[in-house]
């Protein structure tokens, strides 16, 4: 991940490594001990690689995009590309976001396909499952629910 853009932006890449405190390109390339599966590592890596791809697209096309969209972590890349904040600010926010999400315990989220949110919550309630909330509507056919581990297992 990122091998195609890290070399084009050595200054930004070095800055990201210094801010994060580790060799980001090596971590993305080698993924020792599956470190990229840990959200506190995944989020800054994805944000940085996505940012470099956006910078590359703008350099190649010679102009910014007309619109920027993002979902979940991608919202931060959209805000960066739209000029809402600079790379350092975005990376610091995303780094903290990953740390906070990694520190959360006792609950989680899961995606459910082909069941509208209201129907899903109705079915869960009829089965006595409490404490589950709709967290996101990803698509017309996918909803994300969140709750305590026990409720999600049920």
Residues 127, 140, single domain; the answer is: yes
Note whether 134 and 72 are same-domain residues: no
- pLDDT at residue 105, rounded to an integer: 87
pLDDT at 56 exceeding the cut of 90: yes
Host domain of residue 15: 3-103
48 burial via Cβ count (<10 Å: 0-12, 13-18, 19+): buried
Residues 120, 84 share a domain: no
- 25 and 60 in a common domain: yes
Q: Given pLDDT bands bounded at 50, 70 and 90, which one contains residue 14?
A: very high
Convert the pLDDT of each residue in 101-145 to its tens digit. Answer: 999 888 888 899 999 999 999 999 999 999 999 999 989 999 999
pLDDT at res. 18? 98
Q: Are residues 98 and 133 in the same domain?
A: no
* pLDDT > 70 in the chain, percent: 100
CA dihedral 133, 141, 78, 109 (to 10 degrees): 30
Is 48 in the same domain as 111?
no
């Amino acid at each position: 991940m990122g091998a195609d853009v890290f070399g084009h932006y050595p200054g930004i890449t070095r800055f990201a490594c210094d801010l994060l405190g580790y060799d980001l390109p090596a971590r993305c390339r080698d993924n020792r001990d599956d470190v990229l599966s840990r959200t506190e590592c995944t989020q800054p890596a994805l944000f940085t690689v996505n940012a470099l791809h956006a910078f590359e697209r703008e350099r190649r096309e010679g102009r910014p995009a007309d619109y920027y969209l993002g979902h979940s972590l991608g919202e931060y890349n959209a805000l960066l590309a739209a000029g809402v904040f600079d790379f350092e600010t975005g990376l610091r926010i995303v780094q903290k976001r990953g740390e906070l999400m990694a520190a959360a315990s006792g609950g989680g989220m899961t995606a459910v396909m082909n069941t509208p949110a209201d129907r899903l919550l109705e079915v869960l309630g009829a089965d006595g499952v409490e404490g589950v909330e709709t967290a996101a509507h990803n698509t017309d056919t996918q909803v994300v629910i969140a709750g305590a581990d026990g409720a999600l297992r049920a």
